[in-house]
Amino acid sequence: MSTSSNQKKLAGLKIGFFGKGGAGKSTAVVLMARALARAGYTVCIVDADSTNFGLHQALGMEQPPAPLLDHFGGMIFSGGRISCPVDDPTPIPGAEISLDSFPQEYYTQGENEVYLMSGGKLGAAGAGAGCDGPIAKIARDIHVSRQTSPVVTLVDFKAGFEDTARGVVTGLDLAIVIVDPTQASLALATNMQQMVENMHAGQLPATRHLESPDLVADANRLFQESSLSKVLFILNKITDEKTERFLRQRLSASNIQPIGVIHHDPGFTEAWLTGTTIDDSKTRSDVDLMLQQLEASVTDAESGQPVSNRDR
| Contact footprint for ligand ADP (CB under 6 A) | 19, 21-27, 178, 236-237, 262, 264-265, 268-269, 272
Instruction: Please say which residue, 26 or 145, places its beta carbon nearer to ligand ADP.
Output: 26
Instruction: Please say which residue, 35 or 55, places its beta carbon nearer to Mg ion.
Output: 55
By CB under 5 A, name the one of 5, 26, 42, 145 that touches Mg ion: 26
Strands 114-118 and 42-48 come out as: parallel
- Residue with nearest beta carbon to Mg ion: 26
Instruction: Please say which residue, 137 or 158, places its beta carbon nearer to Mg ion.
Output: 158
Is residue 227 within 8 A of residue 306, CB to CB? The reply is no
Q: Which does 108 bind (CB under 5 to 8 A by kind): Mg ion, ligand ADP, none?
A: none
CB of 140 to ligand ADP, least distance (A): 19
Q: Does 83 bind Mg ion (CB under 5 A)?
A: no
Q: Does 52 bind Mg ion (CB under 5 A)?
A: yes
Instruction: Please say which residue, 52 or 220, places its beta carbon nearer to ligand ADP.
Output: 52
HSE-up of residue 224 (Cα within 13 Å, Cβ side):
6
Tell me how far the alpha carbon of residue 32 is from its chain's centroid: 11
Q: Is 307 helix (H, G, I), strand (E, B) or coil?
A: coil
CB of 23 to ligand ADP, least distance (A): 4
Name the helix (H) or strand (E) containing 106.
Answer: none
Phi, psi of 24 (to 5 degrees): 120, 25
- What sign for the dihedral angle of Cα 250, 252, 255, 259? positive
CB of 55 to Mg ion, least distance (A): 7
CB of 256 to Mg ion, least distance (A): 22
Report d(CA 111, CA 160) in Å as an integer.
29
CB of 36 to ligand ADP, least distance (A): 17
Q: Which does 123 bind (CB under 5 to 8 A by kind): ligand ADP, Mg ion, none?
A: none
Instruction: Please say which residue, 14 or 25, places its beta carbon nearer to Mg ion.
Output: 25
Report d(CA 99, CA 145) in Å as an integer.
6
Report d(CA 144, CA 64) in Å as an integer.
18
